Amino acid sequence: MCDVFCAVRKNKNIGSRWPGSEEEEVMGKSKKQGKGKCKGQQDQKGKKGKRRKLVLCHHPLALDKLGRIRDKTVSSREKIMLADDLSVLLAYEVFRDLETEGYVIDTPIERGEVRKVSEMVNLIPVLRAGQALVPGMRRMLSDRTCVGYVGYSRDETTLKPHGYCMKLPRRLDGRCVVLETMLATGGTAVAVCKALKKRGAKRIQFVVFIAAPDGIRKLHKKCPYVDIVVVEVDDGLTKEGFIRGIGAGDVGDELFNTHV
């Protein structure tokens, strides 16, 4: 896995989804090997043979939005709008396999069948920063969403997460999409996903702007049933547990202007 991360970090122009593109090669999937898979996805198997999936959303527009979120000269007001835009772009990757059903309408020309989303989705933002992804995701899903909240803070000495708030939808047996901006050490991600699994979640996706290899490895090891969707994977972590290799600081502070 580490080789994959290194290759991704070295090549900043990965973003093409055409057959034979460099992204396809970096993710370790040739056209034959990846039959039936979306390019940019990496399937791995743990010791028990469980499938683990990592999806890199390297769309040029996504990279542009994230680059401006990283920029310390960009205002908090603009960053919250950029995060909203980025959540919409991520929605295309996260929900590419949503279930749909047909229904009949009358167009100006004739009557015909069209399709609509039939699957209910549970959006679970992690407080605080994860809230920034909710409006864009909800706009894309219309009324096919339930929104819950989980709150975790990290002990800056031990780097261990501490839960302080949890309000979840009554039913979690459908798709649960955890929304966060950073996946650093992976402690909070593991705690949230385990809590959802314990409460009956059948499918969990963890959606994040930036991730560190350490966090991805930990989440896949502790929660092999979780799919991760991320825009960029940085180099690693500082001793304080922040993502390094460009990084973005505390994105929650940057988005909500509490760093001043």
pLDDT above 90 for 238: no
Kindly indicate the confidence band of residue 12, based on its pLDDT and cuts at 50, 70 and 90.
very low
How far apart CA 205 and CA 51 sit, in angstroms, is 13
Residue identified by tokens 């679970």 is 124
Average pLDDT of span 63-92:
91
Q: What is the pLDDT of residue 40?
A: 45
pLDDT (0 to 100) of residue 253: 64
Say if CB 83 and CB 133 are below 8 A apart: yes
Amino acid found at 130: G
Q: What is the pLDDT of residues 180-209, one digit of tens each?
A: 998 989 999 999 999 999 999 999 999 999
Mean of the pLDDT values across residues 145-161? 83
CA distances from 109 to 112, 169, 177 (A): 9, 41, 39
Best CA proximity match to 37, nearest among 23, 258, 212, 104: 23
| More confident position, 248 or 80 | 80
Provide the β-strand partners of residue 230: 56, 208
As a whole number of angstroms, the distance between CA 15 and CA 18 comes to 9
* Predicted local confidence at residue 240, as pLDDT: 76
Residue 34 has pLDDT above 70, yes or no: no
Q: What percent of the chain has pLDDT over 70?
A: 74
pLDDT of residue 242: 77
| Strand residue runs (E) in the chain | 41-45, 51-56, 100-106, 111-117, 121-127, 145-147, 149-154, 161-167, 175-179, 182-183, 203-211, 226-233, 236-237, 243-244
**Pair 66, 86: CB distance under 8 Å:** yes
Whether a cis peptide bond, with omega within 30° of 0, leads into 244 is: no
Identify the CATH assignment for 37-256 out of 3.40.718.10, 3.40.50.2020, 3.90.199.10, 1.10.10.10: 3.40.50.2020
Mean pLDDT for 24-39 is: 34
Give dist(CA 88, CA 93) in Å, integer. 10
Q: How do the domains of the chain map onto residue ranges?
A: 37-256
Model confidence pLDDT, tens digit, residues 112-125: 999 999 999 999 99
Q: What is the pLDDT of residue 255?
A: 66
The pLDDT confidence band at residue 76, using thresholds 50, 70 and 90, is confident
**What 8-state DSSP symbol labels residue 90?**
H
pLDDT range class, residue 157, cuts 50, 70, 90 = confident
Q: Please say whether the beta carbons of 126 and 152 come within 8 A.
A: yes
